[in-house]
Structure 1
Amino acid sequence: MDDNDQTHNNDNDHHVMSFAIHYPVNVRSLPVKGIRIKIDADEKERLKLVENHGLLEVKSFRADVHISPWKKRGVRVKGKFEAEIVQACVVTLEPLPKHIEEEVESVFIPDDSKLVKYQEHDNTSEVFVDAEGPDTPEVFHGDSIDIGAFLEEFFELSIDPYPRKEGVDGNYIEDMEKDKTEPSPFAILKQLK
């Protein structure tokens, strides 16, 4: 195996999705006003989004985020993304185009921050965070945050897991089967004449 290849073949390892969009941003020395990042996924990234999320097509994926310092060493990421995707209807399998537009916001803190407390629980390391605010901050390692991976996690959450064509309910297939096997009431009336 090549030294650069980080694939592990261990029975205990679980399949981990490789993100379609990589956009690492060094956050150790952010300006006070922060920085603005714009992402427009290219064809290769859109094809990987299709593969990662079980879609028929990703026509576009664009994001506009602002990254700014938070408290002493933390980072706030705030912005939005929008995407044009095509999914298959879970009932008819017809292509369903959909526009997704989501606001995103999160706070990140470095793994060595005093806000992070590590505790051993059932032989696994769990991170317990004690911080202000309604949302629990995410922990980052090293000097950078992959904004692409962060956005792709929100993208995954915004996709309808059971898309249905308008007007189609769960009985659609059963109704189609009945139409094939049961004669209509009008056909029965004709036979009685």
Structure 2
Amino acid sequence: MNDSPALKFPVSVNNLPQKGIIVTIKADERERGALARDHGLEAVKFFAAEFHVLPWKKQGVKVQGRIDADIVQSCIATLEPLDARIAEKVDTVFVPEDSKLARIRLDESGEMLIDAEGPDMPETFSGDHIDIGAVAEEFFDLAIDPYPRKPGLPEQILPQETVTPDVEKPVSPFAKLSHWKKKP
């Protein structure tokens, strides 16, 4: 992914209404081309995202929504183009960099406490804006299948080595040295 996101949609978080705001993003042709290039895709035919951005706790921001996209990827086995559909839910929290909620919890021995089944750690932001476009692009990237395969391909494409009883095993290069062995 590029350092500069293909989608940019800064949202001010200073004065969010209590009920939040709805942010809708529909990528134009230039943005879809940048998304395809930045994420190693053949094409992005359609990209849309809708988010509900609302205040969370004292200074945090909660972002909930959905990303829908139609993309074209290359099959990892045949390199043929494959159409794929992305429908990804987004539910994440942002807190200011100096927030106590952004600190990593440690136990008494200094080990990091992580609950695999629990909520993710809040993301941090600086300033008074969050780039919702970058959030959409990050979740879009996570939803892309890293190993797309054409339907109907066998699991094993490369021929498996098979040993038939008629074939002799090759002679070891050390076989001739076996007679040097001292006998008791």
User: What CA deviation, in whole Å up to 9, does each residue of 1:125-165 have, x standing for no partner?
Assistant: xxx9xxxx722100000000001111111111111111000
User: What CA deviation, in whole Å up to 9, does each residue of 1:70-116 have, x standing for no partner?
Assistant: 01110000000100000010111111001110110101001122333
Give the conservation status (yes or no) of the 8 Å contact 2:62–2:93: yes
Per the alignment, residue 98 of structure 1 pairs with 84
Task: Please give the TM-score of this superposition, normalised by the length of structure 2.
Answer: 0.75
Mind listing any 5+ residue stretches in structure 2 that lack a counterpart? 105-112, 161-184
**Would you say 1:64 and 2:77 are equivalent positions?**
no
Cα distance 1:162–1:113, how it changes in 2: closer, same or farther (>3 A)? same
**Would you say 1:41 and 2:27 are equivalent positions?**
yes
SS in 1 for 2:22: strand
SS in 1 for 2:100: coil
1:118-157 → structure 2 map (5 Å cutoff): 134-157=119-142
User: What CA deviation, in whole Å up to 9, does each residue of 1:30-74 have, x standing for no partner?
Assistant: 011100000000111101111111000000100010000001110
Offset, 1:170: 4.8
Seq. identity, %: 53
- Taking the aligned partners of 1:77 and 1:65, their CA distance within structure 2 comes to 6
Give the conservation status (yes or no) of the 8 Å contact 2:27–2:47: yes
Name the amino acid aligned to 1:163: P
Name the amino acid aligned to 1:148: G
- Taking the aligned partners of 2:142 and 2:51, their CA distance within structure 1 comes to 18
Which structure has the highest helix share of the two?
1
- Taking the aligned partners of 1:115 and 1:158, their CA distance within structure 2 comes to 27
- Taking the aligned partners of 1:91 and 1:37, their CA distance within structure 2 comes to 39
Mind listing any 5+ residue stretches in structure 1 that lack a counterpart? 1-14, 119-127, 176-193
Per the alignment, residue 180 of structure 1 pairs with none
C-alpha root-mean-square deviation of aligned residues, in Å? 2.3
Q: How many residues align?
A: 150
Give the conservation status (yes or no) of the 8 Å contact 2:102–2:122: no
- Taking the aligned partners of 2:59 and 2:3, their CA distance within structure 1 comes to 29
- Taking the aligned partners of 1:68 and 1:57, their CA distance within structure 2 comes to 33
